[in-house]
Amino acid sequence: MKLFVYHTPEETPRDRVPDCAVVIDVLRATTTIVTALDAGAEAVQTFSDINLLLTTSEQWEVDKRLRLGERGGKQVPGCDLGNSPLDCTPEVVAGKRLFLSTTNGTRAFQRVEAAPTVVAATLANRQAVVNYLQAQTPETLWLVGSGWEGTYSLEDTVCAGAIALPLWEKFGDDILGNDQTVAAIALYQQWQNRLLDLFNLASHGQRLLGLNNTADLKCCAQIDTIDAVPLQIEKGVLSKH
Ligand code: MLT
């Protein structure tokens, strides 16, 4: 296994895809996806283009679908929900297809959708994803943070480090594919017992706090609480493994 961390989708090489790509958007798209699938959603279909989301979801029965849209941390008008994992209770999402478009996370999925295996990861399902990767041992593995509009974000890189650390401990130095992997591990080692404090410092954490999303930050800082491993079953569509 060779492991590469990319802080943003823009940082990933354009001329190839890995055997397995793990997309990370802790605040909040992949936390929402993991929570929704764990709560019984049929699947989550991701879109970078909100208009395409609206037209595609028209083809689904109204009571079998939910439209989730977020831009700049706020709910998109015309959508049923924004991008809060706290909205994704079994009562709300069970049996439904979720159509999701967010500022950065859904663009990250689009960037790696050609990879044979695409996984959605966040802190909540970190251990489940590590178990999956240790069992599958893909030859090339990318951990791709969603960042914020092309720039680095602390919460995605710390989660990449939380996934990379046990893989490094198991497989050794040979798996380290780039310098970002070592940096991500160091970030996690420094902050692993103070993840919420880190999120309070992070620029997108501060944006969400400014929008009164304190409870979302707390929820997204939980680690190893969910067993679901969302896998791409067709381009842009994730379902529970
Ligand atoms: C994103 O894709 O940038 C987000 O998940 C933003 C958010 O809803 O907090």
With a 6 Å cutoff on the Cβ, whether 8 touches ligand 1 is: no
Q: In this predicted model, what pLDDT tens digit does every residue of 137-179 receive, in sequence order? A: 999 999 999 999 999 999 999 999 999 999 999 999 999 999 9
Average pLDDT, the chain: 97
156 alpha carbon to ligand 1 midpoint, in Å? Answer: 11
Q: Is the pTM of this model over 0.75?
A: yes
With a 6 Å cutoff on the Cβ, whether 162 touches ligand 1 is: no
CA geometry: angle at 20 spanning 19 and 26, to 5°? 160
113 alpha carbon to ligand 1 midpoint, in Å? Answer: 19
With a 6 Å cutoff on the Cβ, whether 32 touches ligand 1 is: no
E strand residue ranges, the chain: 2-6, 20-24, 43-46, 65-71, 74-75, 97-101, 117-121, 140-145, 230-234, 237-240
145 alpha carbon to ligand 1 midpoint, in Å? Answer: 12
Phi first, then psi: give them for residue 218, nearest 5 degrees: -60, -45
Mean pLDDT of 31-39: 98
Sequence-separated (6 or more) residues with CB below 8 Å from residue 90: 39, 40
With a 6 Å cutoff on the Cβ, whether 108 touches ligand 1 is: no
The confidence score (pLDDT) of residue 69 equals 97
d(CA 238, CA 143): 17
Task: Express as a percent the part of the chain with pLDDT over 90.
Answer: 100
The confidence score (pLDDT) of residue 75 equals 97
166 alpha carbon to ligand 1 midpoint, in Å? Answer: 27
With a 6 Å cutoff on the Cβ, whether 83 touches ligand 1 is: yes
Q: In this predicted model, what pLDDT tens digit does every residue of 195-214 receive, in sequence order? A: 999 999 999 999 999 999 99
Mean pLDDT of 94-109: 96
Flag whether pLDDT at 241 surpasses 90. no
Question: Which pLDDT band holds residue 62 (cuts at 50, 70, 90)?
Answer: very high
The residue to mutate among 70, 152, 219, having the most atoms of ligand 1 within 8 angstroms of its beta carbon, is 70
With a 6 Å cutoff on the Cβ, whether 27 touches ligand 1 is: yes
Question: Which pLDDT band holds residue 82 (cuts at 50, 70, 90)?
Answer: very high
Mean pLDDT of 205-233: 97
Residue type at 55 in one-letter notation: T
Mean pLDDT of 4-19: 97
Mean pLDDT of 104-115: 96
